[in-house]
Amino acid sequence: MLLIEDDPALGRMLTWELEERGIEAVHAGSCSEALRAAQSTAFDLMLVDADLPDGDGVALAEQLARSGGDTMVVIYSGRHGIPAPCRERTAVRAVLTKPVRVWEILALLAEVGPRTRAPGAGREVLP
């Protein structure tokens, strides 16, 4: 799974929590890092923070969802007013509200089922 989160501490904590449960996660801290990771690796789930330092996470999520094949793309945010996507109009599957809980991520991963996992689990995408 690809976790796109600009807060380094939150990104590390979520990555560690997932790894403790046997989930391989790659952490990207910006739109540009996420795009590089998505171009080089197939992910089963991409969890995208709505507010990123180098761009709009909602727009990034839409871009990733349109180009990601059957990858599940989910937005999460602490701000309100992000419309829950309608599956007929967007490829983004859902919008979660922070604080996101690990069980919510695990439930999403259970929906997508076992797929190719990303190599280099737990690594951060470097700028």
Q: Is residue 8 part of a domain?
A: yes
Number of folded domains that form the chain = 1
Q: Is residue 35 part of a domain?
A: yes
N- to C-terminal Cα separation, the chain: 19
**Which range of residues forms the domain containing residue 19?**
2-112
Contact 14, 3 (CB under 8 A): yes
Q: Is residue 7 part of a domain?
A: yes
Looking up residue 44, the CATH number of its domain turns out to be: 3.40.50.2300
Q: Is the pLDDT of residue 31 over 90?
A: yes
Strands (E), the chain: 2-4, 26-28, 45-49, 51-52, 55-56, 72-77, 94-97
pLDDT digits (tens, 9 = 90+) for 51-98: 999 999 989 998 998 886 788 999 998 876 676 654 445 678 888 888
Q: Tell me the average pLDDT of the chain.
A: 83
Q: Is residue 127 part of a domain?
A: no
What are residue 92's phi and psi, to 5 degrees?
Answer: -70, 130
Work out the number of other CB atoms within 10 angstroms of the CB of residue 66: 12
- Average pLDDT score over residue span 113-125: 48
Q: Is residue 16 part of a domain?
A: yes
Q: Is residue 69 part of a domain?
A: yes
Q: Is residue 106 part of a domain?
A: yes
The pTM score is 0.83
Q: Is residue 125 part of a domain?
A: no
